[in-house]
Amino acid sequence: MSVNRVNPVFNRRIFLQGMGAGAAAMITAHLLQGQALASAPVSGDQWGMLIDLTRCVGCNSCTLACKTINRLPDAETPPTELSNTAFTFLDERVVSEADGATGQRHVKRQCMHCLDAACVAACPAAAMYKSDEGPVIYRPERCLGCRYCQIACPFGVPSFDWQNGLTPVISKCWFCYQRLGTGEQPACAAACPTGALRFGKRAELLAQAHAQIASAPDRYIDHVFGEHEVGGTSVLYLSDIPFAELGFPADLPTVAPPEQTSKVMSVLPGVILGTATVVTGAATITHRRKHSDPESTEEA
């Protein structure tokens, strides 16, 4: 009676085909991702906003104007956090003044509109889109509800509507993009009565910020937050208090997350091909040994 054995040639062929297909698929994915990353605009003559925290008096004119222009609920109630019903809010911070007294700072929080946005790179459906003018825009008709943008954002900005699972929606500031097209400022900047919010070209705002620091070194710390963090952001801050004490993320890289990912992905095809080669070689040697070993010959 003959012994039924699985054909080793058939096994090896299927195995190698699978390895080849897997390697090809991963390399193709890498190339497509590289194209997506390369297509994202990095800087250029983009719009930006400079927020001078020393000028903010906490009036909430900006947050209420945002609610009104975007037709968000409770338009007369200042929000206390970012959510699907609040695209910006004032984060109240208790600080120690230079003279040792206790003071307070009002920190406006919203989407930072990164120059090379991690949310855009992470979105598999291009629901997050980096416009040429600077604002990072959300296109709900493309959204899959995967929330990769939430995970990728280094500032924890995108908010997901957990009450609306069938039609997922991510909410965040979009720089009043519709107003920019008509020559208007974002509603928050237009509503600010103290000049704490200034809207304009990012390069010009950066020059203004550094000029302010140079002319009043006792008023500001020598740091424009957003100039270099995560590759640069369109929203910039001036402050008289170290940013870490105001709840800003500490030790952020100066390289944008998508650029870091690109560096890792650039070496991945070589690793995949090397692994495939090693496994293929091992499978071939094993197959030859079985055929050269008399004991491996099928017996009747």
Give the model confidence (pLDDT) of 218-238 as tens digits.
999 999 999 999 999 999 999
Average pLDDT over residues 244-258: 90
**Residue 2 maps to a domain:** no
Res. 93: pLDDT tops 90:
yes
Percentage of residues in the chain having pLDDT higher than 90:
63
- 60 and 202 in a single domain? The answer is yes
Residues 65 and 189 in one domain: yes
Is residue 262 over pLDDT 50? no
CATH number of the CATH domain containing 97 = 3.30.70.20
**Which residues, at least 6 apart from 147, have a Cβ–Cβ distance to it below 8 Å?**
158, 160, 170
Q: What value does the mean pLDDT of the chain take?
A: 81
Within 8 A by CB and 6+ apart from 172, the residues are 82, 87, 110, 111, 136, 138, 157, 158, 159
Residue 237's nearest CA partner among 215, 205, 276, 266 is: 205
Whether residues 117 and 173 fall in one domain: yes
The answer to whether residue 30 is domain-embedded is: yes
On whether residue 150 sits in a domain, the answer given is: yes
220 in the same domain as 153: yes
Higher pLDDT, 35 or 59: 59
Residue 1 is assigned to a structural domain of this protein: no
Residue 71 backbone zone (phi > 0: left; psi -120 to 50: alpha; other: beta): left
Domain holding 278, by residue range, is 8-37+260-296
Instruction: Give the pLDDT band of residue 173 (cuts 50, 70, 90).
Output: very high
pLDDT of residue 165: 62
pLDDT higher than 70, residue 284: no
Quote the pLDDT of residue 168: 80
Q: Is the pLDDT at 110 greater than 80, yes or no?
A: yes
Determine, yes or no, domain membership for 152. Answer: yes
Question: How confident is the model over 241-260, as a mean pLDDT?
Answer: 88
Whether 85 and 205 map to the same domain: the answer is: yes
Q: Are residues 281 and 248 in the same domain?
A: no
CA 174/CA 73 separation, integer angstroms: 17
Instruction: Say if residue 161's pLDDT is above 90.
Output: no
The whole-model pTM stands at 0.74
Q: Is residue 295 over pLDDT 70?
A: no
Nearest Cα neighbor of 189 from 179, 203, 199 is: 199
What's the pLDDT band for 300 if we cut at 50, 70, 90?
Answer: very low
Same domain, 288 and 234: no
Highest mean pLDDT: which of 225-234, 254-263, 286-295? 225-234
Q: Are residues 82 and 109 in the same domain?
A: yes
| 242 shares a domain with 118 | yes
CA angle 87, 93, 99 (to 5 degrees): 150
Q: Count of domains in the chain?
A: 2
What is the torsional sign of CA 210, 212, 218, 221? negative
pLDDT at 19 > cutoff 50: no
pLDDT for position 256: 84
Between 137 and 278, the more confident residue is: 137
